[in-house]
Copies of this chain bind each other. A is one copy, B any other.
Amino acid sequence: MESSFAIIAEPHRRAILSLLLSSERSVGDLERELRLSQPSVSKHLRVLRDAGFVESRIEAQRRLYRLRPEPLMEVDEWLIPFRRFWSKHLDALEQHLDKMDKVPPAKGRKKHEQP
């Protein structure tokens, strides 16, 4: 019951997902491409599969893993209000930076601003 966010916090798992973007791969493929031990790859794939990020099909002794969209879509949806936020504020930010660029810091003296 880990959140999708926790799942993709792991760099190797993000790498796996990115690799699977182009085509499905076997555990051995990923092992070589990630330069990680086979059990580690298998365990990451287990986590990803339990969370619905990937699914596998069997071909002979191999298991071919491929992407599934749903969990990352949840992450994408969590970002929606933040996208609204930064599209609202980016203009103001640019204006602000622009002003800082032209006007030297003339305001009241700056004290310790290191919280």
Given A72-B86, A82-B72, CB of A11 within 8 Å of CB of B21? no
Chain A 65-77 interface mask (CB, 8 Å, partner B; 1/0): 0011110110111
In the bound complex, CA of A78 to CA of B58 (Å): 29
The quantity of this chain's copies bound in the complex is 2
Question: How many chain A residues touch the partner (CB < 8 A)?
Answer: 41
Q: Is A106 an interface residue (CB 8 A)?
A: no
In the bound complex, CA of A12 to CA of B81 (Å): 17
Q: Which of A62-99 contact B (CB under 8 A)?
A: 63, 67-70, 72-73, 75-87, 89-90, 92-93, 96
Does B89 contact A69, Cβ atoms closer than 8 Å? yes
Does B82 contact A21, Cβ atoms closer than 8 Å? yes
